[in-house]
Structure 1
Amino acid sequence: MSTATANRQDCIKNCQQCQTMCADQLTSHCLVEGGEHLQQEHVQLMLDCIAACKACIDFMSRNSEYHAFYCNACAEVCKACADNCEKVGDMDSCVACCRKCEQSCSAMAAASLNA
C-alpha cells in the first residue's frame, strides 16, 4: 500500500469516527443535557460536521479528483464544531475527535492540492 493510500485510509477512518462521535454525542448527550447543548448554533455545527464527514468519506472512497476540496471543507467544519463543543463544555471526547479529523483532513487536502 502506498503512503498516499495509507494516508487516505487513515483520513477516512478519522472521518468515520468523527461522524459517529458527533451523531452519538448529539443524540445521547446534547439532547439529554439541554441548555447550551441545544442552542441552534451548536446543533447546526454538529449536523454540519456529520454531513461534512460523510461527504468527505464518499469522495475519498471513490478516489474522486475533487476529494481535496471536500477534505479542506471538512477540516474547517470540524474545527468550528470542536471550537463550539469546547465552548459549550462537557464534550471533551467530541472535541478530541473533531480535532483529530480536522488535522487529518487538512493534511490530506494539503498533500493532494500540492501534488
Structure 2
Amino acid sequence: MHHISPEMKQCIDNCLACHSECLSMAMGHCLEMGGQHTEPKHFKLMMACAEICRTSAHFMLIGTEHHKHTCRECAEICRQCADDCERVGDMQACVDACRKCAESCERMAQ
C-alpha cells in the first residue's frame, strides 16, 4: 500500500467532508428553499463541486500522481462554489467546507 502523508490524509478528509456538505446542502436545503438556491447555474456548480471533491479524494486514496490535476481543478471549483454559496446566502457550512477543501487541494496540487 502506498504511504499517505498526514497532509494528504487531511486533504482527503476535507474533500470527503466537502462532497458530503455540498450534496446534502443541495439536496436538502437548496431544493427546499427554491428560488436562487435552485437556479441551474448555482445548482450545477454545487453538483460539480461535490463530484470533483469525491473524485479528488478517490485519486489520492488510489495513489495516482494524477491527483495533482484533480486537486488543482477541485480547488478552483470549490472556490467558485464557496463564492456562489456566499452570494446566494444562508449556506455558511457549505462556504466553509469549500474554502477548507480548496486550501488543502491547492497544497496537494503543487
State TM-score, norm by structure 1: 0.91
Deviation at 1:109, TM superposition (A): 0.8
Matches within 5 A, 1:25-64: 25-64=25-64
CA distance in 1, matches of 2:25, 2:100: 16
Across the aligned residues of Structure 1 and Structure 2, the Cα RMSD in angstroms comes to 0.8
Matches within 5 A, 1:1-115: 5-110=5-110
Report the identity percentage. Answer: 42
Give the number of equivalent residue pairs.
Answer: 107
Structure 1 unaligned regions, length at least 5: 111-115
Deviation at 1:19, TM superposition (A): 0.2
Query: Which 4+ stretches in 1 moved above 6 angstroms?
Result: none
CA distance in 1, matches of 2:9, 2:77: 20
Deviation at 1:58, TM superposition (A): 1.2
CA distance in 2, matches of 1:79, 1:47: 14
State TM-score, norm by structure 2: 0.95
Deviation at 1:79, TM superposition (A): 0.5
Deviation at 1:54, TM superposition (A): 1.1
CA distance in 1, matches of 2:65, 2:102: 20
